[in-house]
Amino acid sequence: MTTATATTDLGAAYPGYLDHLADADEYAATDLAIGLLDAGVAAERVLLDLVAPAQAEVGERWARNEWSVAQEHAATHISEQVVAAVSAHVKPRPTGGRVVVACMDGEWHALPPRLVTEVLRLRGWQVTFLGASVPAAHLVSYLHRYDAYAVALACALPMRLPHAHRMIEACRRSDVPVVVGGRGFGADGRWARRLGVAWAPDAPSAAELIADERTLRGAPPARLAHLADDEYASLVRRRGELIDGALAELRERVPAARAYTAAQLDATVSDLGHIVDFLAAAIYVDDASLFTEFVQWLSGVLLSRGVPVGAIALPLEHYAAALRDFPRAARALALGCAALPGVSR
């Protein structure tokens, strides 16, 4: 056993674990985690104070353009293997009811809910992890078949909130209490409260909520009366038209865009679509800050890749003109433009 794996100091072990992820060294990363367990560190702490923050740093390195998508995927896979090794090493035995953990339909960030799964197992629950992007109908069918005590749903991207709400309501119609988590519900859970569902900021909080059925079922009702004006539904119907129009204007006003490779074109269309989807989600929960936070994040990602802010400002202006009769969308777009760095107000 090496000095790094023999330590019980997770802070001291963390840099080495990150180095193993950077080197794509699955065996060294696993040995380090198991060494911590053998040295007396609780499995929950290894998962939450080593693997979880390392995965957050992996995402930040991708956002800063320090790591490629391939490097990010390799590191994520290694951490998934480490989580599996920790679980197999501890071998917890269930004493509680069945809890189902799943990602929202269209949500592919599966490691955070996998960590929640293992923490629940360590605390005695019988847990079934359904993985990434679970269709609502399939989830409900599973809940009926296996008589679940509760379901925990994860969402990392706020643009999935409309889908998340439909999934939450489908579970409730099955009389299964729901707890949600993930950055998609806001750092403080404010969009979970808007949807009327119990929210946990982390895995231990999720475990405590699930153990308290009264609180889990006692979330205040959703506050979505504004959806009656049909602005959200109208925007969603125009999604394709908006993207096509923004792409056409980009090609007209930015000559370099006419020579984009197929990969560049695909990335541009994807970004234009994400702008519409985040805008729609902001309207769904009636909170423009959801959109402005996304715009600030996207501008940082693109700037780190040498893409000027104007490449974001142009489609925002196009969407604002096209949606001038949509009051909430127009306000969010105006705030989004104002949030761009270095853009004159």
For residue 339, pLDDT over 90 is answered with yes
Give the model's pLDDT for residue 216: 87
User: What domains sit in the chain, N to C, each tagged with a CATH number?
Assistant: 11-91 (1.10.1240.10), 92-223 (3.40.50.280), 227-339 (1.10.490.20)
For residue 111, pLDDT over 90 is answered with yes
Question: pTM of whole model > 0.85?
Answer: yes
Render pLDDT for 128-184 as a digit per residue (tens, 0 to 9).
999 999 999 999 999 989 889 999 999 999 999 999 999 999 998 999 999 999 999
Render pLDDT for 57-90 as a digit per residue (tens, 0 to 9).
999 999 999 999 999 999 999 999 999 999 999 9
Buried b (16+ CB within 10 A) or exposed e, 304-338: eeebeeebbbbbbebbbebbeebebbeebbeebbe
Q: Largest Cα–Cα distance in the chain?
A: 66
Q: How confident is the model at residue 345 (pLDDT cuts 50, 70, 90)?
A: very low
Q: Which two tokens stand for residue 32?
A: 């380090």
Give the model's pLDDT for residue 156: 95
Q: Which residues contact 142 (CB under 8 A, 6 or more apart)?
A: 100, 128, 130, 148
Render pLDDT for 264-288 as a digit per residue (tens, 0 to 9).
899 899 999 999 999 999 999 999 9
Q: Which two tokens stand for residue 98?
A: 């069945």
**Cα gap 58→52, rounded to integer Å:** 10
